[in-house]
A and B are shown apart, each in its own frame.
Chain A
Amino acid sequence: MCLAIPSKIVKIENNMGIIDVDGVQRQASLLLLEDPKVGEYVIVHAGFAIKKIDEEAAMETLKVLREALAFAEKSEPAG
């Protein structure tokens, strides 16, 4: 089962990280990441951080989705 919600790295000690998901903290191994840093958001699977979230891509996708939303609203007939 994949947990889709990104977690924030709040502490790093010997390749183990403390990660925070919406206020709940737990341990995750950082062995599968290149150069993890405190403050970065990661995807966690079975106790391992498996990927840093690409912030730029995340914002870009949202922008595209929101633009589509704004465009669709503008094209809707009033009332």
Chain B
Amino acid sequence: MTIKHADEYRDPEISRKIVEQINNLSKKKIRLMEVCGTHTMSIFRNGIRKLIPDTISLLSGPGCPVCVTAQNEIDAFIEISGKPDTIITTFGDLMRVPGTGSSLQKERAKGKDIRIIYSTFDAIEIARKNPDKRVIFLGVGFETTAPTVAASILSARDMKIDNYFVYSAHKTVPRALFALMKTEGIKIDGFILPGHVSVIIGTGAYLPFFNRFKMPCVVAGFEPSDILQAILMLAEQIENKSPELKNAYTRAVSFKGNEKAIRIMNDVFEQADVAWRGIGVIPGSGLKIRDEFSNFDAGKKFEIISKDSKEPKGCACGEILTGLKTPVECPLYKKICTPVEPVGPCMVSSEGTCAAYYKYHNGD
């Protein structure tokens, strides 16, 4: 059995021809930013940086949810794991992110009940089986993940499960694009917009951003020819000085997105001003649990004192997330900060720019 539409979009001949078109077309020196950790990974894994001409630089933006999570939120997760009678549930990539004094992994080694789950439904199941424990899900992610967490809260309500709580540190992408454009020193000529965030929110969600900045924007899928196609479309727009908001992932992304998922997300969450690592507070860029669902809100249920945490000293994660620096420009990279002993989250998550550089970048 073939994997539906994956083989075709991996066809090296198609990719080679798109690269030829990019080569023929690209004259200006341009900088394109991807805002999706899975794009970062795919670009490195498929050697796309080496395939495209020197005129085009690819930057990794704030597209890795764990990486953009502020230090005080990481500290809050660790703090919450110390509350009595709790079971912490989380996706795996959060485990090793260093907080100010510890990490979830270190806390688990000390005996805290911290479990890696695959889906929020696993957390509901754990809550159902452990009625005498308080089961907390650490909600980190963008619009792709937030509806799945919202659905879990609705299900918990329907199933009358009262020992399931979510600590919501969810964030939304379009607001971050606005903030990026206002970051001092930033040089971006076009955006490769995320694939599965866009599946949910639709290309229409980027219209306010596009209309404000007239910045070339293309939504891309994750296979090599998807990403190369987006790069080609962006290069064309920039060479022709005709910025557009385009979709190179039409098989999954529509203008309106997944309206049911958006509805469920908005039923449970509302916008909040939240801090992003490296960027600071972005108005309306977070998702907090609505008052109606405050019984499920771990942020309200538990007193949390971690408020003023500092980012690790010397760590350039913040500048790397905004494209101001590459990992090799960070004094800690590969010296003190490695995947085994990470200092910042960009080295922890498999989607982090530093982790991707460490694995795939050969110093050229």
Docked complex Cα distance between A1 and B355 (Å): 14
> Which residues of chain B are within 8 angstroms of A65 by Cβ–Cβ distance?
14, 18, 225, 229
Q: State which of B6, B14, B93 has its C-beta within 8 Å of the C-beta of A66.
A: B14
Contacts of B351 in A (CB 8 A): 1
Query: 8 Å CB contacts to B: which residues of A1-47?
Result: 1-2, 4-6, 8, 21-23, 28-29, 31-34, 41, 43, 45-47
Q: Are A57 and B250 in contact, CB atoms less than 8 angstroms apart?
A: yes
**Interface check B294, CB cutoff 8 A:** no
Point out the residues of chain A lying under 8 angstroms from B223, CB to CB: 4
Asked if B38 and A2 make an inter-chain contact with CB atoms under 8 angstroms apart, the answer reads: yes
Residues of A within 8 A of B155 (CB): 31
Q: How far does the Cβ of A23 sit from chain B's closest Cβ, in whole Å?
A: 6
B148 touching A48, Cβ below 8 Å:
yes
Q: Tell which of A8, A50, A69 has the most Cβ of chain B within 10 Å.
A: A50
Q: Are B18 and A6 in contact (CB under 8 A)?
A: no
Main secondary structure of the interface of A (DSSP, over half): mixed
The answer to whether B147 and A50 touch across the interface, beta carbons within 8 angstroms, is: yes
Given A1-B37, A50-B261, A43:B196 Cβ within 8 A: yes
Contacts of B141 in A (CB 8 A): 46
Q: Is the CB of A4 within 8 A of B38?
A: yes
Tell me if B326 is interfacial: C-beta within 8 Å of chain A.
Answer: no
A68 touching B222, Cβ below 8 Å = no
In the bound complex, residues from chain B placing their C-beta under 8 Å from that of A2 are: 36, 38, 144, 195-196, 222
B100 to chain A, nearest CB (A): 26
Q: Are B199 and A51 in contact (CB under 8 A)?
A: yes
Give bound CA distance, A29 to B290, whole Å. Answer: 23
**CB pair B151 A68 closer than 8 Å:** no
Known: A4-B223, A32-B151, A33-B260. A54 touches B254 (CB 8 A): yes
Count B interface residues, CB 8 Å: 53
Write the A48-78 contact mask toward B (1 if CB under 8 angstroms, else 0). Answer: 1011011101101110011011001000000
Residue B293 interfacial (CB < 8 Å): no
- CB distance B4 to A6 under 8 Å? yes
Interface contact B350-A68, CB-CB below 8 Å: no
Query: Complex: how many Å from CA A52 to CA B168?
Result: 27
Choose one: B196, B221, B250, B252; the contact of A60 (CB below 8 Å). Answer: B250
Q: Which of B68-76, B81-89, B114-122, B311-319 contacts its partner? A: B114-122
Q: Please state if B93 and A68 are interface contacts (CB–CB under 8 Å).
A: no
> Roughly how many angstroms separate A66 CA and B14 CA in the complex, as a whole number?
7
Contact of B20 among A50, A51, A72 (CB under 8 A): A72
Closest A residue, CB atoms, query B64: A1
Q: Which parts of B6-29 form the interface with A (CB within 8 Å)?
A: 6, 8-9, 13-14, 17-18, 20-21
Among A1, A54, A60, the one with the most B-chain Cβ atoms within 10 Å of its Cβ is A1
A41 close to B144 (CB less than 8 A): no
Report yes or no: B119 in contact with A48, Cβ–Cβ below 8 A.
yes
Cα of A45 to Cα of B24 in the assembled complex, Å: 37
A1 lies within 8 A of B13 (CB): no
Q: Is the CB of A22 within 8 A of B3?
A: yes
Extra pairs beyond A50-B144, A58-B5 (20, CB < 8 Å): A2-B195, A2-B196, A4-B6, A4-B42, A4-B195, A5-B6, A46-B91, A46-B120, A46-B148, A47-B122, A47-B148, A50-B200, A51-B199, A51-B258, A55-B251, A57-B251, A60-B250, A62-B5, A66-B14, A72-B17
**6 A-B Cβ contacts within 8 A?**
A2-B144, A5-B4, A23-B1, A46-B118, A50-B196, A72-B21
Instruction: List residues of chain B with CB under 8 Å of any chain A CB.
Output: 1, 3-6, 8-9, 13-14, 17-18, 20-21, 36-38, 41-42, 91, 93, 118-122, 141, 144-145, 147-148, 151, 155, 195-196, 199-200, 221-223, 225, 229, 248, 250-252, 254, 258-261, 264, 350-351
